Structure 1
């Protein structure tokens, strides 16, 4: 990989002086030539020899270590990178829709036209500042995770040498806020105000901690009144342009068995008193073998069809307002109610995690850590119990000389 002087020829004059080339004094003087990792001959021009020598040394080192990155690879735009990244993900259908929405509305307008090699941490920080004016801190963190993952893929594929998201980007803090929890009376009132065909959904959320999709995807065979258990095996999903269909649960740990309290069992027995007819529905629970089958879903729409989550939300809004709960407070709030009841009764993090179907105890702890009551007081009692039974040893006076 020679460094060539383009202003002079290789030969010399009779007097020993160097022979100037036709381009002597014009353009950049020094040229570096090398063969890249794909076997292509590459060149780059420099004005100063010191810069050419440095580039030559760096290229040699990168090639020998297998860390060479073609500077032309980074010329693709952020929009093109986003498309490559999305195509490589193993997202479920619903997650793919959310990701597409977030990238289209919040990543591409500000960064999409830039070449990825030109994106600097300052550009990312500016993007964060701009998006923080329209997105809640928690939502912004989710979208930033997508963006960071895109650039991480570009680094792995050797399109760029480093990610601009790895340089101490500051995100707006997420406030803990206060979670609105209903009273027991409000829970019962919600069930009373919903249509009879949907009333038991309240008790499955507040008494078993099920998500709405899990509730609407329950079939009669998922209930075991003798053992007093509910088996969560699938959920009812809704995608744009498609009728509600059965699909896999949110995560592998979301498939679980939940204890069936008496109050929930009574509500479900009343719900099933008039029987439960089957309804034809697409079942994509096993993505490799999707089928259309008859399902004895516990909950159906007014016309006997699977319940559409959007339709449920409109029905829910009326009942929620009537019992005095705030706007935008959804049935997921009853899942928080369930978790809080367990925690305040002394349940461990692991117990709550398994009941809710969280992927890890960390998720549970991060969500509900402030609900474990009197943690500081318990810590003090433990230390006082261990050390307070003995007289404190006399501490030597501290000299101030």
Structure 2
């Protein structure tokens, strides 16, 4: 129900009741403006697109925390989202009402993340894109909940992310990083370089997942090391991460020597330090000096050994599908996006294929082929 009434002071009062029966009113100096506003509101109520003006007064932080608690995230993903919101979003947008945040303000916030702000260093373009994506998901949920009419993150211009080509380490570098590691973790380097497993998968490897006779390892979980929580075993990154990887003999031999020298503890973990699970932060302190000594990109972390494994499979002729399955990638496209430049160049095969068909036809016609004539 809506009505328009002229007040004693000459202003026009437009009133309506929303779908919940609550009354709302707004005053205008001109009747035409009051009628236009009333028509727009009435149409939104009728079409089911109505948004209560008061619904958007909720602070972004409060709504984002409600949204975060309702998400079905893996533990590592949940921790990542919490960190991105707390560190990079709440200081700027956290106390603002949802409905007050404008697209121009989101754009300005993205620029500050990209260029740095005061004591905060600039974030990498890929990190800015991730943070913006999380915030956009919060606003999309707010639109679905009818708290705001539109997502202010739509149309934001993000910094260009330049994908760097993977440069796998050489075998000499893998050997060097292995020698620079503590005795207890040297087998870890050989094992990772020989299986391509992710860091969490390797640190969560238990002896019952190894089949030395069949020379294979079953990957179906990883070690989760979340802030404020003790390390524990949890599900792998994705469904595609569950896989069985063949073990080369060099890996089997080194694992056997490692287990003979460093028996597993009660938890069954193959790789430990001082009998305890190895957290990511602790491993980083051990890995970085060894990586520097070997001339590896420290920022790539232990992932460089995964790149080494992939490069060997490609060099020895394994198909894209095989590399995808071994690495636990969700799709072959992900594998190609990362490693396509490592597959042998096919330019000569392309030339030969065309020449074998069109060249034969040209020779049959008596055309000059392969003489260098223009």
Q: Shift of residue 383 of structure 1?
A: 5.2
Superposition pairs for residues 298-337 of structure 1, below 5 Å? 298-301=270-273, 303-337=274-308
> 1:155 offset after TM fit, Å?
1.0
Q: Which residue of 2 aligns with 1:153?
A: 141
Contact 1:32–1:43 (8 Å) recurs in 2? yes
Task: Give yes or no for the alignment of 1:91 onto 2:73.
Answer: yes
Structure 1 residue 347: Cα displacement: 3.1
- The answer for the alignment partner of 2:105 in structure 1 is 123
Larger helix share, 1 or 2: 2
1:70-123 deviations in whole A, cap 9, x for unaligned?
121112222222222211222233322222221112111222232222222211
Relative distance call for 1:379 and 1:131 in structure 2 (3 A) is: farther
Partner SS for 2:35: helix
Q: Determine whether 1:262 maps to 2:249.
A: yes
Greater C-alpha Rg: 1
**Given that residues 255 and 357 in structure 1 are in contact (C-alpha distance below 8 angstroms), is that contact kept between their aligned partners in structure 2?**
yes
Q: How many residues align?
A: 358
Q: Which runs of 5+ in 2 are unaligned?
A: 116-121, 366-374
Structure 1 residue corresponding to 2:342, chosen from 367, 371, 380: 371
Task: For residue 275 of structure 1, report the CA deviation from its aligned partner.
Answer: 6.6
1:74 counterpart (46, 52, 56): 56
SS across alignment from 1:273 = helix
* 1:108-187 equivalence runs, <5 A: 108-133=90-115, 134-167=122-155, 169-187=156-174
Q: Indicate conservation of the 8 Å contact 1:320/1:329, yes or no.
A: no
1:56 aligns with 2:28: no
Instruction: Indicate the larger mover: 384-393 or 222-231.
Output: 384-393
**Closer, same or farther in 2 for the Cα pair 1:78/1:366, shift >3 Å?**
farther
Any residues of structure 2 matched to 1:372-391 within 5 Å, and which?
372-374=343-345, 387=358, 389-391=360-362
Taking a change above 3 Å as real, the CA distance of residues 42 and 270 of structure 1, as seen in their structure-2 partners, is: same
Q: Specify which structure has the bigger relative contact order, considering alpha-carbon pairs within 8 angstroms and separated by 6 or more residues.
A: 2
Secondary structure class of the residue paired with 1:272: helix
Offset at 1:360?
2.7
> Under a length normalisation based on structure 1, what TM-score does the superposition of the two structures give?
0.82
Q: How far does the alpha carbon of each residue in 1:278-321 deviate from its partner, in whole angstroms, 9 at most, with x for none?
A: 32xxxxxxxxxxxxxxx2211121x2222233222222223223
Indicate conservation of the 8 Å contact 1:276/1:297, yes or no.
Answer: no
C-alpha contact (below 8 Å) 2:192/2:306 kept by paired residues:
yes
Instruction: Give RMSD over aligned pairs.
Output: 2.4
- Aligned residue for 2:184, secondary structure, equals coil
Unpaired stretches in structure 1, ≥5 consecutive residues: 8-22, 280-294, 394-401
Aligned to 1:5: 5
- The answer to whether the Cα contact below 8 Å between 2:221 and 2:236 also exists between their aligned partners in 1 is yes
In structure 1, distance between residues paired with 2:73 and 2:88? 19
Structure-1 separation of matches of 2:63 and 2:356: 58
